[in-house]
Amino acid sequence: MFQQARRVIHRYQEGCPFGAEPCGVVLQGRRGRVVFEPPVLLPDEQFVPVDLLQGRPAARAGSRLRMPRSR
């Protein structure tokens, strides 16, 4: 699913290098489309936010992964 969404975003960015920044991709079967605002989905559609397609967000200063303390 992520691979297909990345291909859709990549094609959009190649074809419109100065186009508006998309918020994600809507996938329906083997087809996908770039969207610019959060969509209302049909039952057979899936939304993949652009944040998940561009890698992990950078960690904020001072935030860490915390492990539970054992007693």
Structure confidence by residue, pLDDT tens digits, 23-39: 999 999 989 999 999 99
Q: Over the chain, what is the mean pLDDT?
A: 82
Answer yes or no: is 64 within a domain. Answer: no
pLDDT band at 63 (very low <50, low <70, confident <90, very high): very low
Dmax (CA) of the chain: 57
- The pTM (predicted TM-score) of the whole model is 0.70
Query: How much is the pLDDT for 69?
Result: 62
Answer yes or no: is 66 within a domain. Answer: no
Answer yes or no: is 19 within a domain. Answer: yes
Neighbour tally for 6: CB within 10 Å: 16
Residue type for 25, please? V
Can you give the residue range of the structural domain that contains 19? Answer: 2-53
Taking the C-alpha atoms of residue 44 and residue 32, their distance in angstroms, rounded to an integer, is 12
The average pLDDT across 49-64 equals 63
Domain count for the chain, please give it: 1
For 33, the 3-state DSSP assignment is strand
